[in-house]
Amino acid sequence: MVVVPLDTKREWAARTGLQPILDLVASDLTAVNEVILGRMESNVARIPELAGHLIASGGKRLRPMLTLASARLCGYEGRQHVLLAACVEFIHTATLLHDDVVDESALRRGSPTANAVWGNQSSVLVGDFLFSRAFQLMVDAGSLKMLGILSEAAARIAEGEVLQLITTNDTSTTEDAYLDVIMAKTAPLFAAACRVGAVMCGRPREEEEALTSYGRNLGIAFQLVDDVLDYSAREQTLGKTIGDDFREGKITLPVILAYRRGNDTDRAFWHRTLGEGQQESADLDHALMLLQRHGALAETLDRARHYSAIARDALLIFPDSKVKDAMLAVIDFCIERGH
Amino acid sequence: MVVVPLDTKREWAARTGLQPILDLVASDLTAVNEVILGRMESNVARIPELAGHLIASGGKRLRPMLTLASARLCGYEGRQHVLLAACVEFIHTATLLHDDVVDESALRRGSPTANAVWGNQSSVLVGDFLFSRAFQLMVDAGSLKMLGILSEAAARIAEGEVLQLITTNDTSTTEDAYLDVIMAKTAPLFAAACRVGAVMCGRPREEEEALTSYGRNLGIAFQLVDDVLDYSAREQTLGKTIGDDFREGKITLPVILAYRRGNDTDRAFWHRTLGEGQQESADLDHALMLLQRHGALAETLDRARHYSAIARDALLIFPDSKVKDAMLAVIDFCIERGH
């Protein structure tokens, strides 16, 4: 199996705010990759084949990097953080596999999804396998408290995904209801990934909560920018296609804002295309025009900035350090990739 | 939500060897049901709705009963066994939800499957939720060793399911390869459900291994009888439909035996119907006739008896007691329901 080498990721990160954190955790991240490759092994060849397709396809490893950095911020010097970072990535990967089945997605990061290559059935089952492996990693890390944090996050993610499924095609979704979805779907793993850094060092409750807040708000900002990118990303640089959310009838914040700011004709358009899923070839362009006209993308980025400001403030209780600076730069990265 | 009352289950169990174990663990099982109902709650209404559909639909609760009985066999007097029994049932339920998606099943226990009612997407996600809840229950039970046992079992089950997926439609599957599937897919949860009984009492390794062996071999026998029932069950009494495995192209032991014992014409039949999935209305009857002619169902029951004998011997190291008798009667139940 070919794993996208760290060098390629570095080139990409060099143009982004991820470079400082990547420099700091580079050797730990290599160890995390080794654990990941080792733990996705199985006598059933399809498992590493399918899991490797997604895990090796050049994801940013953002969540495990946050675990490594949070541990370092708290002065951690053991090896538990490597296992837990791998565990966080396994939970994330299992979620992506099931997500792509649920959304019937054909492309992720510019490559065919696992379900497109091996079918939904294998994706569901290999997701379950990775999920189980994640818990085995937590057992190896040996802390019941961290097991509690990560299993709670996993349950919340599943709740968020079901909630999102229910709001799909519902154009009357409010901004509050949408925030409930991403606070459940995206924020918990970011929050848990950071929180365990404080827990593994036995740091006081204040620092545990600060890292939780940093992670949660960074996660919300990250998701909101993701929603914007779905209507504006340059396909080549980000391996994303424009309009996936639109085609899947997903109600994200840009749409919620444009729907509310629009007139009756606009609402009829959103209702037909997203509510009833009746889309014609020119509809995505019309949607993009409406989002632009109502400033919905810029406004969504403003909302993201609000959460990124909370994430920034949360870190202030920690003394200044290179790690803290790198974690602040991650916030900038999350916002800036939206431009 | 209506949970099938224990009384109804008792009537059913009265005609089976399950009555002794049900009598012994009745009050514990009520506590397990309370934990199950409490832990499947969520603000997202579809989750308890969908999970309740399956959990309340009158499953035998065989696996959690085994945990309760194993704990009692080892003299356990705490409350951990209730949490772990609920956890075992959650893992089982999550597996069933995903199984039905993978197999595209429309009926289970005579009722429409969750995926038939709420769609594949919800079934995948609610399965993930229950899986996470299972791990939260383990964390509450507070034992890393038991977390290790159950997460290992969960990973093995997923491997077994993938393996089964790969052998589906492959008429050249050998008996050994098929045993590999059920040793991974069905046996590990039975084994783990029993093993934790010894672990929670801190019993010596010999007893832990004896209960593991009892569970594993009981699980194998149970699955083999299930395979027979799929070609012989009376629909009304067991809530099963005949021929599900046949329609899904599943290669189970009765088919493997009939394939090997048959002539070229027979093999061509199995190849067309199961290998290529080209089935006509009279094919199931022809399959039943071939299974009968080659004694494949009776022979599969004989194989099941072999494993049930191992399960029986495994329990011999424990002193005689009502619990031990009840656990031996479970073995009889597993075999006798095949007649």
CB spacing of B151 vs A129 below 8 angstroms = no
Taking a contact as any Cβ pair under 8 Å apart, which residues of chain B between 63 and 92 contact chain A?
none
CB spacing of A132 vs B154 below 8 angstroms = yes
Q: Chains A and B: how many Cβ contacts under 8 Å?
A: 134
Whether residue B316 lies within 8 A of chain A, CB to CB, comes out as no
Whether residue B23 lies within 8 A of chain A, CB to CB, comes out as no
ipTM of the complex, rounded to two decimals: 0.88
Q: Please give the pLDDT value at position B1.
A: 41
Contacts of A158 in chain B (CB under 8 A): 125-126, 128-129, 131-132
Contacts of B43 in chain A (CB under 8 A): 159
CB spacing of A159 vs B120 below 8 angstroms = no
Contacts of B139 in chain A (CB under 8 A): 144, 147-148, 151
Cβ-nearest to B144 among A43, A47, A142: A142
From the candidate CATH numbers 3.10.180.10, 1.10.620.20, 1.10.600.10, 1.10.260.40, the one assigned to the domain spanning A6-336? 1.10.600.10
CB spacing of B155 vs A129 below 8 angstroms = yes
Look-up of token digits 């012989």: B232
CB spacing of A47 vs B159 below 8 angstroms = yes
Q: Please give the pLDDT value at position A1.
A: 41
- The pTM of this model reads 0.90
Q: Please give the pLDDT value at position A23.
A: 93
HEC string of chain B equals CCCCCHHHHHHHHHCCCCHHHHHHHHHHHHHHHHHHHHHCCCCCCHHHHHHHHHHCCCCCCHHHHHHHHHHHHCCCCCCHHHHHHHHHHHHHHHHHHHHHHHHCCCEECCEECHHHHHCHHHHHHHHHHHHHHHHHHHHHHCCHHHHHHHHHHHHHHHHHHHHHHHHCCCCCCCHHHHHHHHHHHCHHHHHHHHHHHHHHCCCCHHHHHHHHHHHHHHHHHHHHHHHHHCCCCCHHHHCCCCCHHHHCCCCCHHHHHHHHHCCHHHHHHHHHHHHCCCCCCCHHHHHHHHHHHCCHHHHHHHHHHHHHHHHHHHHHHCCCCHHHHHHHHHHHHHHHCCC
Tokens of B245: 């495995």
CB spacing of A139 vs B144 below 8 angstroms = yes
List the one residue out of A111, A106, A223 whose CA is nearest residue A157. Answer: A223
CB spacing of B148 vs A136 below 8 angstroms = yes
Weakly modelled stretches of chain B, pLDDT under 70: 1-16, 58, 233-241, 338-339
Q: Which residue of A has its CA nearest to B167?
A: A44
Whether residue B216 lies within 8 A of chain A, CB to CB, comes out as no
Cβ-nearest to B46 among A44, A151, A162: A162
Q: Are B211 and B70 in contact (CB under 8 A)?
A: yes
Would you list the domain boundaries of chain A?
Answer: 6-336
CB spacing of B161 vs A131 below 8 angstroms = no
In a mutational test of the A interface, the residue from B118, B120, B128 whose CB has the highest number of chain A CBs within 10 Å is B128
Taking a contact as any Cβ pair under 8 Å apart, which residues of chain A between 156 and 185 contact chain B?
157-159, 161-163, 165-166
List the one residue out of A297, A283, A190 whose CA is nearest residue A252. Answer: A297
Q: Are A308 and A334 in contact (CB under 8 A)?
A: yes
Q: Please give the pLDDT value at position A15.
A: 60
Q: How far is CA A150 from CA A72, A207, B83, in A?
A: 19, 18, 19
- How does pLDDT run across B38-48, given as a tens digit for each residue? 999 999 999 99
Per-residue pLDDT of chain A (339 residues; tens, 9 = 90+): 444 444 455 455 546 688 999 999 999 999 999 999 999 999 999 999 999 888 877 678 999 999 999 999 999 999 999 999 999 999 999 999 999 898 888 877 778 888 988 889 999 999 999 999 999 999 999 889 999 999 999 999 999 999 988 888 888 889 999 999 999 999 999 999 999 999 999 999 999 999 999 999 999 999 999 999 999 865 545 556 688 889 988 999 999 999 999 999 999 999 999 999 999 999 999 999 999 999 999 999 999 999 999 999 999 999 999 999 999 999 999 998 866
Q: Please give the pLDDT value at position B170.
A: 87
In a mutational test of the A interface, the residue from B39, B40, B41, B44 whose CB has the highest number of chain A CBs within 10 Å is B44
